[in-house]
Amino acid sequence: MSRIGPLSNALVQAVAEGRAVLFVGAGFSHGVTGLDWGALLDTLKPQIQDTSGWDNLDALDRAELFVQAHGRERLESELAALLPSVDALADKVTEFHKALVSQPFPVIVTTNYDGLVEATLQALDEPYRLVVEEAEVAPALAANDGCRVVVKMHGDLLLGDTIVLTRDDYMGYEARRPAMVALLQSLFLSRAFFFYGFGLSDPNFLLIFNAVLRKQAVGGGAWALMREPNHLLARYWQSHKVDVISGNTYGDLERYVETLGREVAKLRRDRFDLTAVLANHFPDEQHSILRLLEEVQERFVRQLERLEPFTWVRLPHNELESYRVSEGDDALGAFRVLRALERAGLPVPAKVYASAAELLGKLNYPEDARAAADTCLRVLKQTNTRATPELRGALGRVFSRLGDLERARPFLERALAEGDQRDVASRTAELAWLLRCVLDRMDQLRERRRERAARDVLARFLKKYAGFFDLAARQPAVDDEAWVWSAYYANHRLGRVFAMASELAGQSGEVYALQAVERLVRALELAPGKPEPYRILRPLLVAPRTGKGDVARWARVVAAAPADIQRKLRELFGEVAAPEPEPPPPPPRPTVSMPGRRSPGMSKPRVTKTE
């Protein structure tokens, strides 16, 4: 065991060269309210009738007690209601979390159920792939996009179906999760490992790690940063090829991580950053060489745009969206030529691959569109280039079209927030696509009865992006078909969001219901032949959960609908228009009043008691 001191050169090199895996446990969440696993289980204790011996039980047995008392589904539901979602954790990410996760670990493994790692990556604007289920292992390994991979080996409490909560789950892990076990074994055999906040005592970890040790030592070495570990246990791990580095406090550990980050950044800069390498070896020629590279790339793109198969390269998003492929065009062939040029060493810019991805997605070449988007991300990573808002928007739209909405969402969020606000058409498109991502996430969470997490997603979205909702109210140019459809989908999806907010808010949701009505009516003004907004609008006007509704307005909306829509509404609801309100009662017949007597029909004024 070594105390906090000089860094291991082998560790610095492994991290700098991208050969190290970061493995984080419960200590990564230290100090973040709501993520203490023991405290969460203690919250459930009052619901268990027999808690004898509770203080002597570990977390696995405490979880098993609840399962025996109330069942597995109830345990997952209760814990999910207590655990903050990724959206709620956005404000909990600290500078230390960023300092650790920002280091170039291509793979991050965690035993935690929470989303703090994902929230940290989002705060760093780092795209990542999430591996939770067995089916997600192979695609993540096959990807060649330079994105980080987050492996949640114990599952995800909000969306996963393979949560490891009880002792039985641990005992059956190898049989139920063969792909995950194989992935972790291959990582231990081929990579270096840096453990943080992990006690090296997890049963699944020990099972996998011991299997690796029986074959050979860990591929690239292993280091575990711990707070006050047992000296004898540290000696044990040292004999098993894990170097335990100890500190007295969490502050000691955090300073070690910060020092590691500085040394890694320096080594990467000296080895891989072209500007730094030129400055070190050819300082007099540095600017000339850099300018030459820029000119080569610019000239290459200009020449490429002039060739007939590549005319789409220069088109902005709105024109690319309405691009009509003429006979003889071969977008797929053009993309394959681009990839061949890249392999030949020609500097194809990331923007070209982003445009190719959008075009291929539009032309229904999903696998090639994904390959183009992945290549774009890889080029950005290799050239250490920051993505522009336009490029982020393109990637977000591509991943949305491909149904990869969780990957799309961070790209669209940044594009919407950072893009040129004068380009209303592009911002409206990004808002519409982002709304699709948000709605999909909420639908998934509500389907699994994760109401707290759904509220977190909704609250964060409304708070952060309310200033962009007016984009949907702008009048699109009549001749810009793409803008018109973006405005329609933005209003339709905003209507759904507000309707969902009204439902989740209960009795206080009337203000959201009113906003939902306005957005849906606006969507129908833009596209009266679309049936979806009518289905959402009708209950808001005819049978609202809160408020009085507006049956007459529903009647006017339906009366303005095309004939085929009225026919569909009749099939759905058994009516062409909303039922007419009952006519008012006829006025009372006039009577002659006698002095000192009350007229027929008159009664004493009712006196009501004031509460």
**What are the pLDDT digits (tens) for 213-245?**
877 766 788 999 998 887 888 888 888 889 999
User: 360: closest CA among 393, 390, 325?
Assistant: 325
Identify the residue whose tokens are 């906040």. Answer: 197
**Residues 219, 110 share a domain:** yes
In a domain, 10, yes or no: yes
**Residues 260, 120 share a domain:** yes
The count of C-alpha atoms lying within 13 angstroms of the C-alpha of 87, restricted to the half-sphere facing its C-beta, is 22
Q: Which residues contact 45 (CB under 8 A, 6 or more apart)?
A: 51, 54, 62
C-beta separation of 358 from 430 below 8 A: no
Average pLDDT over residues 338-353: 84
**Residues 69, 205 share a domain:** no
Give Cα separations from 350 to 311, 370, 387, 435 (angstroms).
Answer: 16, 14, 9, 26
Counting other chains too, the contacts that 266-274 makes at CB distance below 8 Å and 24 or more residues apart are: 267/12, 267/13, 267/16, 268/16, 268/104, 271/16, 273/384
DSSP 31: T
In a domain, 243, yes or no: yes
Strands (E), 371-492: none
**Residues 126, 205 share a domain:** yes
227 strand-pairing partners: 247
Domain range enclosing 487: 426-579
Q: How far out from the chain centre does Cα 453 lie?
A: 13
Average pLDDT over residues 193-206: 90
**What are the pLDDT digits (tens) for 244-276?**
998 888 899 999 999 999 999 999 888 877 788
Give Cα separations from 430 to 105, 399, 410, 433 (angstroms).
Answer: 30, 12, 11, 5
Q: What is the pLDDT of residue 464?
A: 93
Phi and psi for 320 in degrees, rounded to 5?
A: -65, -35
Token pair, residue 131, equals 């591996």
**Residues 69, 20 share a domain:** no
Instruction: Report d(CA 232, CA 245) in Å as an integer.
Output: 13
Q: What is the pLDDT of residue 214?
A: 78
20-24, strands of its sheet edge to edge: 2-3, 242-247, 222-227, 192-196, 20-24, 107-110, 148-152, 128-131
Degrees, nearest 5: CA angle 578-584-586: 150
Average pLDDT over residues 533-546: 87
**Residues 46, 26 share a domain:** no
**Residues 487, 505 share a domain:** yes
Mean pLDDT of the chain: 86
Average pLDDT over residues 334-347: 83
**Residues 461, 394 share a domain:** no
Average pLDDT over residues 307-335: 75
Q: Give the chain's domain count.
A: 4
In a domain, 288, yes or no: no
Q: What is the pLDDT of residue 591?
A: 45
Q: Which of 24, 47, 82 is the last residue of a domain?
A: 82
Token pair, residue 150, equals 């987050």
User: 349: closest CA among 321, 390, 308, 401?
Assistant: 390
In a domain, 282, yes or no: no
Token pair, residue 98, equals 């960023």
Instruction: Report d(CA 331, CA 310) in Å as an integer.
Output: 8
H helical segments located in 6-51: 9-16, 37-44
How many C-beta neighbours within 10 Å does residue 593 have? 11
108 strand-pairing partners: 22, 150
| Of the candidate ranges 164-178, 443-457, 589-603, the one whose mean pLDDT is the lowest | 589-603
**Residues 255, 165 share a domain:** yes
**What are the pLDDT digits (tens) for 274-317?**
788 888 888 888 888 888 888 887 887 788 878 877 888 888 77
User: 19: closest CA among 28, 7, 27, 11?
Assistant: 11
**548, pLDDT greater than 80:** no
In a domain, 280, yes or no: no
Q: Which residues contact 1 (CB under 8 A, 6 or more apart)?
A: 229, 231, 234, 235, 238, 244, 245, 246
**472, pLDDT greater than 50:** yes
Token pair, residue 255, equals 């300073």
How many C-beta neighbours within 10 Å does residue 312 have? 19
Token pair, residue 264, equals 């890694």
Instruction: Report d(CA 451, CA 151) in Å as an integer.
Output: 25
DSSP 92: G
Q: What is the pLDDT of residue 571?
A: 80
**18, pLDDT greater than 70:** yes
Identify the residue whose tokens are 């691959």. Answer: 353
In a domain, 610, yes or no: no
**What are the pLDDT digits (tens) for 27-39?**
998 888 777 888 8
DSSP 24: E
| Of the candidate ranges 113-127, 152-166, 180-194, 325-339, the one whose mean pLDDT is the lowest | 325-339
529 burial type by CB count under 10 A (0-12 exposed, 13-18 middle, 19+ buried)? exposed
- Identify the band that residue 550 occupies on the pLDDT scale cut at 50, 70 and 90: confident
Residue-wise DSSP of 94-158? -HHHHHHHTS--SEEEE--SSSHHHHHHHHTT--EEEE-SGGGHHHHHH--S--EEEEETT--TT
**603, pLDDT greater than 60:** no
Q: At 225, which helix (H) or strand (E)?
A: strand 222-227
One-letter identity of residue 115 = G
Phi and psi for 225 in degrees, rounded to 5?
A: -95, 115
In a domain, 510, yes or no: yes
C-beta separation of 362 from 132 below 8 A: no
Instruction: Report d(CA 574, CA 596) in Å as an integer.
Output: 55
User: 260: closest CA among 359, 314, 192, 202?
Assistant: 192
In a domain, 315, yes or no: yes
C-beta separation of 110 from 183 below 8 A: no
One-letter identity of residue 3 = R
151 strand-pairing partners: 109, 131
**592, pLDDT greater than 50:** no
CATH of the domain at 362: 1.25.40
Instruction: Report d(CA 565, CA 458) in Å as an integer.
Output: 31
Q: Which of 373, 399, 419 is the last residue of a domain?
A: 419
| Of the candidate ranges 180-194, 401-415, 537-551, the one whose mean pLDDT is the lowest | 537-551
| Percent residues over pLDDT 90 in the chain | 45
pTM of the model: 0.81
**Residues 131, 165 share a domain:** yes
Instruction: Report d(CA 267, CA 179) in Å as an integer.
Output: 35
**Residues 380, 357 share a domain:** yes
DSSP 217: S
Q: Which of 371, 397, 419 is the last residue of a domain?
A: 419
Q: What is the pLDDT of residue 152?
A: 94
**Residues 261, 404 share a domain:** no
Instruction: Report d(CA 193, CA 202) in Å as an integer.
Output: 16
User: 452: closest CA among 114, 49, 211?
Assistant: 114
**323, pLDDT greater than 80:** no
